Amino acid sequence: MDFNNFTGQQKIGFVVAHYDQYGNIAEHLLNTLKYLSKYSTHIYFVSTNLNRDSQTKASEFAHVITRENLGYDFFSYKIGIQHALKKAEFDQLFIFNDSIVIFNPDHLFKLFFEQKNELSLTGLTLSYEINKHIQSYFFHIHKNIIYSDFHLKWWDNLIALDNKNDIIQKYEIGYSKLFIENNIELRPLFEPTKHDKFVSTLRKLYFSRETPHFKQFFENLQEDFVKIDLKISEQTNPIHYNWESVLEKYKILKKDLFIKNNSLAKKEEILFRLKNHKNIHFMKDIS
């Protein structure tokens, strides 16, 4: 894909948040930076732990910013956005972190550039957990949002928080709330089908079977056939509970799906689904 076919002379910026326990940069992430560097000189890679070798590798494709390990990804986003806006005036910004493996960046970014609505917060997935929000591991905004007063003020006021639940409430959910309050649409690329909702609903019922509410539901079943409300799927995380559809459509995988939620996805199944993909070796980054 040639970005110019979709963006013309528009200036595109990228902010990438990174953390690794050992200070390494994974091959899949380096591949994404390399791909993006063909089309933009404005890639801002913000890391809270990066060793010298990895910094050298990343610097070949991006402006590397290292900082103290405070405030999680949203504070890295803030630092990256501030650096970016000092360097140039952008028509579009992509903001994402290293929690996803992008197996095919060409495919993924093409899908985003095909979106025509410039007055929206666009992301890969929309979650209803706690409150409706675009999930913050990957999102995209246009110029009329980037430089709006409400948007600039929100980022200026963002401070480093240490509690992850506070960050989810105030920043991940709060960021989407900001758009809703300003009558701006939340637009996820992934729109679950009825099949997707059915799958995530069944998974939710199964994995919640030991909680008091669902335990009572199962104990009180009297019939061989029951009606299931697919709205239960809204209680799930789509990047986890519909990982097969997300992987098939966007060629991405959330790393913690395999690391933390191996009851949802087995490594063997993921490898089978990627068996013909040229970048299947990226799986070693999450093993």
| Domain residue spans of the chain | 3-188, 194-286
Q: How far apart are the C-alpha atoms of 48 and 69, rounded to whole Å? A: 5
What confidence tens digit (pLDDT) does each residue in 85-128 have? Answer: 999 999 999 999 999 999 999 999 999 988 877 789 999 999 99
pLDDT number for residue 229: 84
pLDDT level of residue 206 (50, 70, 90 thresholds): confident
Phi, psi of 217 (to 5 degrees): -60, -45
pLDDT level of residue 186 (50, 70, 90 thresholds): very high
Continuous H helices in 123-211: 143-146, 149-157, 164-167, 173-181, 194-207
Average pLDDT over residues 245-271: 79
**DSSP assignment string, 66-114:** E--S-SHHHHHHHHHHHHHHHH---SEEEEEETTEEES-HHHHHHHHHT
pLDDT number for residue 60: 97
Q: How far apart are the C-alpha atoms of 92 and 176, rounded to whole Å? A: 18
The structural architecture, per CATH, of the domain 3-188 is: Alpha-Beta Complex (3.90)
Distance of CA 192 to the CA centre of its chain: 16
pLDDT at 157 > cutoff 70: yes
Q: Rounded to a whole number, what is the distance in angstroms from the first to the last CA of the chain? A: 30
What confidence tens digit (pLDDT) does each residue in 8-35 have? Answer: 678 999 999 999 999 999 999 999 999 9
pLDDT level of residue 2 (50, 70, 90 thresholds): low
Q: Which two tokens stand for residue 122?
A: 């666009």
pLDDT number for residue 275: 74
Strands 92-97 and 138-142: antiparallel
pLDDT number for residue 150: 96
